[in-house]
Structure 1
Amino acid sequence: MENSIMITFFLGTIGAMLSLSGIIFLIYCFTYEMKNKKKLYKESKISAGIGIIIGIIMITLSILYFYKNI
């Protein structure tokens, strides 16, 4: 029981950090002058979106794992 809580907390924390960093990076891309560099701007949006999606998946898996092991 104690290990499942630690694993859940770890996965949820990593997922939240990935999602938050992706959101902050997207805000940075929109506010910074990356719009002049079209290719870099497009690639940065894609990588930030992937980070957000992976973070949401990790948070979802940690919640499912926690409720499965209660």
Structure 2
Amino acid sequence: MQNKNTIMASFFIATLGTMLIICGLIFIIYCFGYEIKNKKKLYKEAKLISVLGIIIGIVMLVGSLLYLSKNTI
């Protein structure tokens, strides 16, 4: 039987991962929109950190969902 705290922690990690993915996607869309509208280049580091946030979010989401599905079945 799973502890209630581990289930809640897994849902919390999945939620944070989803938020990281959404925020990263919104920021990348904003960056490309800004570059097209103002014809200026933004720093590469901003886009790199955004992509890194998306990757970390995917890892957090997939890891917690795999943990939940493994222990609940």
Normalised to the residue count of structure 2, the TM-score between the two structures is 0.81
RMSD (Å) for aligned C-alpha atoms: 1.6
Identity in percent:
51
**Runs of 4+ in structure 1 displaced over 4 angstroms?**
none
Uncovered stretches (5+) of structure 1, i.e. residues with no partner: none
User: Which protein is richer in helix relative to its size?
Assistant: 1
The CA deviation string for residues 3-57 of structure 1, in whole angstroms up to 9 with x for no partner, is 232011101000001000000000000011475235x1x2111111000000000
Work out which of the two has the higher radius of gyration on C-alpha atoms and give 1 or 2. 2
Uncovered stretches (5+) of structure 2, i.e. residues with no partner: none
Normalised to the residue count of structure 1, the TM-score between the two structures is 0.84
